[in-house]
Amino acid sequence: MSTPELPKLSLPSDVNYIGVFLTFGCNLNCSYCINDPGQAGGRDAMGRTEMAPELWVRALNRLRLPPDLPITLQGGEPTLYGRGLGLGGLLANVDASFDLLTNLALPPGRMKRCLDGQVDKLRRDAPYPSIRVSYHPPEMDRVWGRGIDTLLDRCEALRDLGFRVGPDKRSSDVGIYMVAHPGNLGACEDAARAAAKRVAFETKEFLGLHEGVLHGTYKYPFSIDLVAGGHWPTGLSCQCRTTELLIDPLGFVWPCHHFLYETWMNGGSGEAFDRLSARDFAVDEESLAGLALRPVGHILDPAFTLAALRDWHPCDRYGRCIGCDTKVKNNRFQSLEDAGLAHTSVEIRDIVFPESVLERIPAERSERLRSYGIIAAHTLNA
């Protein structure tokens, strides 16, 4: 019996990023891991549970996407999906273009088998590379010797598969990105020198606390350092909604990176997935039992709609948010000039601050945030 086609999913116009976390498996063990921004040692618990390629094909072919919006494959290390052989079939059978966030775990021969000839799906005209390679010293030095040299060689080997590789990010399909960690700025300069004239290279702002200092620019005060920085012992209540479609390795859709990573560092969504797969993924309260945090839905649920991403939902974890969700971003869908406020991946309103924290926000800023409804009119009595 053939599987019935699922209803198509139309993307709300203000959703501008689609991230598919194919696997949380990874070949590296970086001390600063993007999946565990609090560096709480939770990465090992994330496991390698994955959804079968035929389910991903069914799920992703539901999406009606504008031609300039790729599906970004990420993880963990997405090239390890399906034991390093899963990407080719997925790319071949999904009608979309893709970006890939990778640490190039696979040497050239295995990368060739992994992609299985699917080069065009990973190439598109964009002002930045579609294959964004992350450089992680000192972990790559530990594994490969001088890590940046191996990484550059592996980037250039992608030329043999048909990718454009060069130092100009506008014309290269491949670029190296490195977090400018304040404890490792010398390695940034070293890597930039090594990459010059070979592969597009950029540093990314470090987000978070380092030696008690908060790095990054955030639209919402104390959004990532309220608890970690010792300003208040627990998260605060607020309303939140997202502009991103974030799908975990088992197809659950999450409203932010904190919800996604927390769930996977605390056992994952495997039991809920097993219950759902026995009932054609029709989500109800019972099927989500055991999940401490509530997903937006499941991408294979016939009743799921992407409009749900734009619904405001209550959250009591404000202040434990993850930097990539609340940092100020350049984005073509938003402007500082129009709204007087910067764009972020999530929008937050009605944050109930305790008085003692509120008084540490400069008066002019807190007045402005109140006038936009970001800070609740009342404060927490504590």
Site for ligand SF4, rule CB under 6 A: 26, 28-30, 33-35, 76-77, 103, 136, 238, 240, 255-256, 258-259, 315, 317-318, 320-321, 325, 346, 348
Task: Please report how close the Cβ of residue 196 comes to ligand SF4 at its closest, in angstroms.
Answer: 24
Paired tokens of 153 = 């060689």
**Residue type, position 357, single letter:** V
Query: Can you tell me whether residue 112 is helix, strand or coil?
Result: helix
Nearest CB to ligand SF4, comparing residues 59 and 179: 179
**Is the peptide bond preceding residue 12 cis, with omega within 30 degrees of 0?**
no
Q: 167 or 229: whose CB is closer to ligand SF4?
A: 229
Least separation in angstroms between CB 242 and ligand SF4: 8
Quote the least distance from Cβ 181 to ligand SF4, whole Å: 11
Closest separation between CB of residue 116 and ligand SF4, Å? 23
Q: Which is nearer to ligand SF4, 184 or 277 (CB)?
A: 184
Q: Closest distance between ligand SF4 and the C-beta of residue 278, in Å?
A: 29
Calpha distance 151→199 (Å, rounded):
10
Compare residues 29 and 171 and give the one whose CB is closer to ligand SF4.
29
| Residue 60, CA distances (Å) to 18, 132, 193, 298 in order | 10, 21, 39, 12
**What type of residue sits at position 348?**
I
Please count the other Cβ atoms lying within 10 Å of the Cβ belonging to residue 307: 12
Q: Which residues, 6+ apart, have CB-to-CB distance to 21 below 8 Å?
A: 74, 75, 76, 78, 246, 247, 248, 249, 260
Q: Specify the amino acid at residue 161.
A: L
CA dihedral over 336, 209, 104, 164, signed as positive or negative: positive
Within 8 A by CB and 6+ apart from 280, the residues are: 302
Q: Where are the alpha helices (DSSP H) in the chain?
A: 53-60, 87-93, 108-115, 139-144, 147-157, 185-195, 257-265, 270-277, 323-326, 336-339, 355-358, 363-371
> In the complex with ligand SF4, which residue's Cβ is closer, 62 or 313?
313
CB of 316 to ligand SF4, least distance (A): 8
Q: Which is nearer to ligand SF4, 105 or 283 (CB)?
A: 105
Output Rg (C-alpha) for the chain, integer angstroms: 21
Spatial distance between the Cα atoms of 163 and 360, rounded to a whole number of angstroms: 51
Q: Report CA torsion sign: 368, 370, 375, 379.
A: positive
Based on CB atoms, which residue is closest to ligand SF4, 248 or 325?
A: 325
Cβ proximity to ligand SF4, 110 vs 170, nearer residue: 110
Gap between the Cα atoms of 261 and 256, Å rounded: 9
Q: CB of residue 215 vs ligand SF4: minimum separation in angstroms?
A: 17
CB of 178 to ligand SF4, least distance (A): 11
